[in-house]
Amino acid sequence: MKQILILFALTLSLAACEKDEDPGPEKVNLQSVVKAGSKASHFTVELLAKETLFQGYNKLYLDIRENSGNSRVTQASVKLLPLMHMTMMTHAAPVENPKDTPNDDGYFEGAVVFIMPSNPDEGWTLEVALDAGDEKDTVSLAIPEVKSLEEAREFNVISQTTGKTYFISLVEPSAPKVGLNEIEFTVHYRENMLSFPSAEDLSIAIEPEMPSMNHGSPNNVNPVHTGNGHYKGKVNFTMTGWWRVNIEISKDGQPIGENLSFDITF
């Protein structure tokens, strides 16, 4: 009887240890957006995302497979070209091309800043140029929808000094909480209708406020450039509700736009 009790206690202890183990990073749940074959039938590309694509910064995941054998491509140069087909013109948008190798789940990760929503008469395609060594090809994906969000996560502003149009996207916080949050922006500018380089020489200051309560918050950290047009800092939300994050952007001491802000409600 004593041996049975000891064995039972050991079993409970081991079960508790297994339950307390770190489960590791949470697996990203993705949904399929669109799937298409390449023009020369070398590849099939499936585009996936965490949610319906929207106006702003979208992380994209590409499942790229060889049509012969349906095996996943594990090494390739992947270039993205989003195109907005309007009634009178066509233009591109800012992109972040994937690395030459996929992530641990087999997806090539990239990003697109969709700078306007689609509508019944005007929509986006995503051209994916692939160079896998022996095979080179292009896949054209017709994006079914790019929606407009109630609280915008992207806007553009024209510099009064240079005349350049800048595109500012709010990346984080994507799941805001009470307390100190990571805040992250991307900034790009329009070089021409097909080229939107990252802007890497700007200064950004933030000042959050709660308009309905007439107060702000302490301990915010202004974003600084961390690479590839990304600017990261800290924003402090002292309570739930509607917050407005006011932004001042300048280049060489000259302001770019005025009365710039993002609304965040949680």
The tens-digit pLDDT sequence of the chain (266 residues) is 444 444 434 444 444 443 343 333 345 699 999 999 988 889 999 999 999 999 999 999 999 999 988 899 999 999 999 999 999 999 999 999 999 999 999 999 999 999 999 999 999 999 999 999 989 999 999 999 999 999 999 999 999 999 999 999 999 999 999 999 999 999 999 999 999 999 999 999 999 999 999 999 999 999 999 999 999 999 999 999 999 999 999 999 999 999 999 999 99
Using CA atoms, how far apart are residues 232 and 243, in angstroms rounded to an integer?
Answer: 18
Using CA atoms, how far apart are residues 83 and 90, in angstroms rounded to an integer?
Answer: 7
Q: Is 246 helix (H, G, I), strand (E, B) or coil?
A: strand
Looking at residue 28, its pLDDT comes to: 64
Residue 182's alpha-carbon distances to 18, 42, 150, 175, 237, in angstroms, are 32, 42, 22, 10, 11
Q: Considering only CA atoms, which of 216, 222, 211 is closest in space to residue 185?
A: 222
Q: Considering only CA atoms, which of 75, 78, 72 is closest in space to residue 105?
A: 72
At 116, list the tokens.
């306007």
Looking at residue 69, its pLDDT comes to: 86
